[in-house]
Amino acid sequence: MEGKAIKSLEQRVTRLEKVVFGVGEKPKKKFNPEGFSGPTGGVRLLISKGFFKKARTAPVVKTELDKNGYVYRIQVVQTSLNRLSKRTGPLSAFKQGGKKVYVDRK
C-alpha cells in the first residue's frame, strides 16, 4: 500500500515539475544566418552584411535584395521583414515619419 502511495506522489511531482519548470519543452529557434535561401534568407544575408545598422524601409530593402539577386515582390519582402521582426527575431520594427522601418535588434 505504501509503495503505491509513494509511486502516485512521484508521478504527481513529475507532472507538476513539467508544468512549472517546462521540462521537455523544445528550445526556441535562434537566428541562424547560414541559410540564405528564399526571401527570408535574402533578408538574413543583408543582416549578416550589416545592412540594417541604419533604419530601412521595405522598398529600400527590396532594392538591395534585387542587387543581390533576390528578386521578389514588395509584399513578399514585407512578409519576410515582419516575420524576422517578431519579439525573438533579429530585427526590430517601428514607425518613423509615418512609415514602418526595420533595424538590427540591440
Give me the domains of the chain, ranges plus CATH numbers: 38-104 (1.10.10.10)
pLDDT tens track, the chain, 106 positions: 688 888 899 999 888 888 888 755 555 555 554 678 899 999 999 999 999 999 999 999 999 999 999 999 999 999 999 999 998 899 999 999 999 999 999 8
Lay out the sheet containing 99-104: strands in order across: 56-57, 99-104, 91-96
3-state secondary structure of 41: helix
What number of other Cβ atoms are within 10 A of residue 20's Cβ? 8
For 28, 68, 85, 90, the CA distances from 97, given in Å and listed in that order, are 34, 28, 19, 23
